Amino acid sequence: MSKVFERSEEVLDKIITIQQVIANVFLFFIMAIITFDVLGRNLFNQPLKGTYELTELGAALLVFFALAMTHRKGDHITIDFLLDRFSDKMKRIINGMVEIVVAIVVFFMARHIFENGVRMMERNSTTTDLALPVHPFLFIIAFTLVIFMFTAIVKAFTYLRLAVNEK
1 or 153: whose pLDDT is higher? Answer: 153
Does the structure show a pLDDT above 70 at 156? yes
Residue 22's CB: how many other CB atoms inside 10 A? 16
Can you spell out the DSSP letters for 13-53? HHHHHHHHHHHHHHHHHHHHHHHHHHHHHHHSS-PPTTHHH
d(CA 66, CA 49): 27
User: What are 112-122's pLDDT values in tens digits?
Assistant: 999 999 999 99
The DSSP 8-state label assigned to residue 76 in this structure reads S
- What's the confidence (pLDDT) of residue 167? 59
Q: Domain total for the chain?
A: 1
Q: What is the largest CA-CA distance in the chain?
A: 70
Query: What is the average pLDDT across 139-157?
Result: 95
Q: Which percentage of the chain shows pLDDT scores above 90? A: 66
The Cα–Cα gap between 8 and 153 comes to: 11
Residue 123: pLDDT over 80: yes
What is the gyration radius of the CA atoms in the chain, in angstroms?
Answer: 20
Q: Domain span at residue 121? A: 2-165
CA atoms within 13 A on the CB side of 77: 0
Whether the predicted pLDDT of 57 surpasses 90: yes
* Spatial distance between the Cα atoms of 19 and 121, rounded to a whole number of angstroms: 24
DSSP state of 131: -
Q: Residues 94-110: pLDDT tens digits? A: 889 999 999 999 999 99
Evaluated on CA atoms 140, 141, 144, 150, the torsion sign reads negative
pLDDT at 5 over 90: no
Is the pLDDT at 22 greater than 70? The verdict is yes
